[in-house]
Amino acid sequence: MTEIYLTHRISLEGSEKLEVIRDYGAYATAEQVIKSLEPDQVIELVKASGLRGRGGAGFPTGVKWGFMPKGHQGPRYLGVNADEGEPGTCKDRIIMEQDPHLLIEGIVIACFAIRAEHAYIYIRGEYLKSYRVLADAIAEAEEAGVLGDDVFGCRGLSIRVHLHRGAGAYICGEETSLMESLEGRRGHPRPKPPFPAIAGLWGMPTAINNVETIANLPAILDKGVEWYRSLGTKNSPGNLLFGVSGHVLNPGVFELPMGTTVKELIYEHCNGMRGDLPLKSFCPGGSSTGFLPASAVDTPMDHDSLMGVGSMLGTGGLIVMDESVKIPEALEVLAAFYHHETCGQCPPCRESCAWCHVILKRMLSGKGKPKDLEMLQEIFNMSCGGKTICVFPDALGVPVRTALKHFREEFEALINKGSVKTNAVA
């Protein structure tokens, strides 16, 4: 049986309550860390653990913290990205709703490490339950002396957690637009540099970390770097919360080591495909990681392996599609989403998402043209790869490229015959 440390308490009745999980080790690690380590030692341990961000990009967390200037006078901030907007992703919600104190304990450790007094949790607006549970948990933690002034009785150590609800914009999950939104402006990504570590929230050094990333911290500091590195793969250590949705019998969130194969996820943990239709395609880590063919089902779910097949680990939100799915239609759904969600400040992104959507809609209405496929490629050649402030166009560019690479014949059929045949049972 896999060792689990993110969802180990969620089966307990009332796992969101401090009184219930106190006996299961809640806040013990944080207290020990604060009382026995120096902040820089924590950063070094997190660096050594190889913990990589769970928000999608997989940047090493300790390295990110290390970019924050050492001699800075004045406030530093921790931003907790709980916007969870990537289609197919639903893992942070499990932590926030069922073990909010795990997140808060991680926040206490992170704040101590980067010397931040204030942490802001930017929570997806639609996550009303998560918000309520977290708000109660924060109040409990304040009551228990875990948050507030003189944390764990350590004089002069203040840590405060603020909850901020988003208003339903995908782009606000991008760390710089998250900061803009948090500061009260439109959620438009900021040009980098400066990076948030240098000038983030209100111009101060800021670390923005994903909920799941933060939730990894208590276990790393409790059980040690070596233990942590024994889980997962060399370059992708630890467990990941895989959120599986789509045409499987048992969809859900599963805590498994990095490197678990897609096949194992679908056929062991999700009890296989729903109905009689075989697997056709899957998006390994949320919609922006693109469409991979069924033949890639043996790919281990870790950063390197998925890069190797032209995709990304992303958020680990696996979307499973059986043969009833017409890829051009699925792609059109994504195009509609990204067309709607591009913030619109950079013309290449704003217009490429719109253009792509227009072409796909026309193709699906039976009016596709032979040059459309070239154009779809070309649109994203023109907009992806650093041509915009953030990487948003790539989030549609990857699905477009992978769909055309692996399922080109469906698009060609759509253009030539006006429709796509699938193996779906009518």
Contact residue for another protein among 69, 203, 308, 347 (CB under 8 A) = 347
8 Å CB contact between 292 and 282: yes
Considering only residues 141 to 200 of the shown chain, the ones binding another protein according to CB under 8 A are 169, 186, 188, 191
- How many residues touch another protein under the rule CB under 8 A: the total is 31
Contact residue for another protein among 96, 256, 353, 398 (CB under 8 A) = 353
Of the listed pieces 25-33, 35-43, 335-343, 406-414, which binds another protein according to CB under 8 A?
335-343
Cis before 196? omega within 30: no
Q: Residue 233: left if φ>0, alpha if ψ -120 to 50, beta else—which one?
A: beta
Q: Which is nearer to another protein, 135 or 382 (CB)?
A: 382
Q: Which is nearer to another protein, 209 or 342 (CB)?
A: 342
8 Å CB contact between 324 and 422: yes
8 Å CB contact between 159 and 166: no
If binding is defined by CB under 8 A, does position 389 make contact with another protein?
Answer: yes
Q: Which is nearer to another protein, 220 or 414 (CB)?
A: 414
Contact residue for another protein among 197, 352, 373, 391 (CB under 8 A) = 352
8 Å CB contact between 285 and 316: yes
Detail the DSSP E strand segments found in 197-291. Answer: 206-210, 239-246, 252-257, 279-283
CB 327 → another protein: shortest distance, Å? 21
Give percent helix, percent strand, percent coil of the chain, each to the nearest 5: 45, 15, 40
Q: Which is nearer to another protein, 333 or 424 (CB)?
A: 333
DSSP assignment of 272-295, as one string? Answer: SBSSSPPEEEEEBTBGGG--EEGG
Q: Which is nearer to another protein, 191 or 278 (CB)?
A: 191
Q: Which is nearer to another protein, 16 or 341 (CB)?
A: 341
Distance from C-alpha of 249 to C-alpha of 154, rounded to nearest angstrom: 50
Tokens at 235, concatenated = 């370059």
Q: Which is nearer to another protein, 323 or 341 (CB)?
A: 341
Considering only residues 86 to 125 of the shown chain, the ones binding another protein according to CB under 8 A are none
CB 283 → another protein: shortest distance, Å? 22
- Count of CB atoms within 10 A of residue 400's CB? 26
8 Å CB contact between 407 and 417: no
CB 406 → another protein: shortest distance, Å? 25
318 phi and psi angles, rounded to 5 deg: -85, 125
Per-residue mark of binding to another protein, 74-93 (x: CB under 8 A): --------------------
6 phi and psi angles, rounded to 5 deg: -100, -35
Q: Per DSSP, what are the bridge partners of residue 281?
A: 293, 321
Contact residue for another protein among 94, 137, 141, 343 (CB under 8 A) = 343
Distance from C-alpha of 69 to C-alpha of 205, rounded to nearest angstrom: 7
CB 149 → another protein: shortest distance, Å? 37
Q: Which is nearer to another protein, 194 or 278 (CB)?
A: 194
Q: Are strands 77-82 and 206-210 parallel, antiparallel or unpaired?
A: parallel
Of the listed pieces 55-63, 146-154, 276-284, 381-389, which binds another protein according to CB under 8 A?
381-389
Per-residue mark of binding to another protein, 5-24 (x: CB under 8 A): --------------------
Contact residue for another protein among 359, 373, 403, 404 (CB under 8 A) = 359
Contact residue for another protein among 355, 396, 400, 420 (CB under 8 A) = 355
Tokens at 343, concatenated = 């913030």
Of the listed pieces 44-52, 156-164, 218-226, 382-390, which binds another protein according to CB under 8 A?
382-390
Contact residue for another protein among 75, 344, 405, 422 (CB under 8 A) = 344
Q: What is the DSSP letter of 395?
A: H
If binding is defined by CB under 8 A, does position 126 make contact with another protein?
Answer: no
Q: Which is nearer to another protein, 200 or 316 (CB)?
A: 200
- Helices 327-341 and 392-406: angle between axes, nearest 10 degrees: 170
Distance from C-alpha of 261 to C-alpha of 268, rounded to nearest angstrom: 10
CB 189 → another protein: shortest distance, Å? 9
Could you tell me the sign of the dihedral formed by the alpha carbons of 345, 393, 216, 241, in that order? Answer: positive
If binding is defined by CB under 8 A, does position 362 make contact with another protein?
Answer: yes
Residues near another protein, by CB under 8 A: 169, 186, 188, 191, 339-348, 350-355, 358-359, 362, 375, 378, 382-383, 386-389
